[in-house]
Amino acid sequence: MPRRPARPSFALALNLTSLLAFLAASLPLFYLLRRALDAQISEIALILFRGKTLEILATTLGLTAAVTACASLIGVALAWMLFNIDFPFKSGLQALVILPVAIPSYVFAYSWILLIPGFKGFWAALFVLVLATTPYVTLTTLAALRRSDWSTYEVSQTLGLNGWQIFARVTWPQIKNSVAAGSLLSSLYVLSDFGAIALLGVDTLTRAIENIYRGSFDRSSASILALILVAISALLIRLEERSRQKLNIVKSSARIITKGVTTGKLRIKLIALLAINTYLALGLVIPISQLLSIFFANSTSINYSLLSKASLSTLLAACLGALIALALALPVGVLSAQGSKLGKVSDKAILIVHALPGIVMGLALVSFGSSIGWLYQSLLLLSFAYALLFMAKAVGSVRSSVARVPENLIEISATLGQKKSATFRRVVIPLATPGLLSGTLLVLLAAMKELPATLMLKPIGFETLATQMWSYTSIFRFNEAAPYALLLVLVAAIPTFLINRPDKGDGLGGDRI
């Protein structure tokens, strides 16, 4: 009787699929290197050291540092207030504070341009990008506060420490990693942003790459500038890693106190409500009211058929991209949680790709897809671009969720004779499912808002809400752009609410979105 072929081991399957994800994430990096090497050494030196490049680099670094610092301070403050102060309707407030993450940066810029003619420049970009990225820090900080051990809080009070001392010595060490992760996401968002930067007329590396490609089709020069972005992103990722390595907190197996002590002092409540409502007014009420006012003023002239078609196209492409991202992220997240070198290397490559502008991903996949006739300008290629751009969000959620599965349950499964694959399927996956769903929703949310890659890779006649809005905004037909911007925000609000449902406890539950 012929022997049945041996099945590949579970570990081998994980490693092979993780390697596939690494190669997929490396595709745009290989493209950039190949294009950059097409240029002569003298040409590379000229591009790198000319005055305009140095000016653009300084603007990019300055804007990134300023946005990250402001978003981190505001995000931590909002999270602390929402967690520690006894507000009525606290869950509703938390949901509203996170909701601006559903608004693309270019919609923020668009709404403020409508309100303030001449709203542009560095400070305008700083304002808009702080509003757009603060929720990332708030989300990760809230998740960390919910997981913290508050038994040490009471001990510190008995030792006579005041509120600031307790925050510095007790709270901060427990949330530091999550704040660093949220700050990293804010930085990477700024480095890769194009829509708001273009509307507000700020010369950053992303806009320079776009202008070079559109103006001269000089892909070598554009690739050299993109590699500078890659280097900056790699440095930021390394700095975040070092901050995590320096932190060493001893954790007990079970927390003595799982909920912090909230304050109900009227003066503190009023100050906190003023701060929270100011943020909500700037980041939610004003942009949405601007879009609504234009929508209702021009409701009779709206092409609802085109609007519906763009909505369905947005959901279709984003959902497919989210599923591809989950399939690629699952093995990487699992191996990274287990401490595998391949998992860690793949994780870093995926995170660097997350900082690339959409146009770079578009150029790489246009080059790749054009050699495969049936793939070029297809929905599959567009969705694959979404998956590569935003896979880091899914990997972070997978890694965090898998790492938090209790080891004793895995050991019990092994003692019952279950193979690793069966344990993974019956124990790890069910327990990690909330995190996997959060990661998938995060990719879905980001894919809905993606603009440059969509403009380059969409099939002929295929329009999303983002591309339709941009096509009208770029020719200053703001009234016609408003319905697409409004509907994009409303559609994106659905995954945002599901990610941060008040009944979920940990929110995202991960150190990195």
The residue segments making up the domain with residue 197 are 11-247+257-504
Question: Does 510 map to a domain?
Answer: no
**Dihedrals φ, ψ of 263, to 5°?**
-105, 145
What CATH number does residue 134 fall under? 1.10.3720.10
Exposure string (b/e) for 382-418, b if CB count within 10 Å is 16 or more? bbbbbbbbbbbbbbbbbbbbbbebeeeebeebeeeeb
Question: Does 165 map to a domain?
Answer: yes
**Dihedrals φ, ψ of 53, to 5°?**
-65, -45
pLDDT at 318: 93
Count up the domains in the chain and report the number.
1
Question: Does 317 map to a domain?
Answer: yes
Residue 504: DSSP 8-state: G
User: Greatest CA separation found in the chain?
Assistant: 83
Q: CB within 8 A of 432, min separation 6: which ones?
A: 398, 401, 402, 404, 405
Cβ atoms of 122 and 159 within 8 Å: the answer is: no
Question: Does 252 map to a domain?
Answer: no
Question: Does 509 map to a domain?
Answer: no
Question: Does 3 map to a domain?
Answer: no
Question: Does 512 map to a domain?
Answer: no
Question: With 0-12 CB in 10 A as exposed, 13-18 as middle and 19+ as buried, what is 476?
Answer: exposed
Q: Which of 145, 260, 142 is nearest to 513 (CA)?
A: 142
pLDDT at 386: 92
> What residue type is assigned to position 340 of the chain?
S
pLDDT in tens, 303-344: 888 889 999 999 999 999 999 999 888 888 888 877 788 888
- Residue in the block written with tokens 């009227």: 266
Cα distance between residue 12 and residue 41, in whole Å: 42
pLDDT at 4: 46
Cα distance between residue 486 and residue 293, in whole Å: 10
Cα distance between residue 325 and residue 441, in whole Å: 11
Question: Does 513 map to a domain?
Answer: no
The stretches in the chain having pLDDT less than 70 are: 1-8, 148-166, 215-218, 244-264, 299-300, 408, 410-411, 413-414, 416, 500-513
Cα distance between residue 145 and residue 149, in whole Å: 9
pLDDT at 245: 54
Q: Which of 508, 261, 259 is nearest to 404 (CA)?
A: 508
> What residue type is assigned to position 507 of the chain?
G
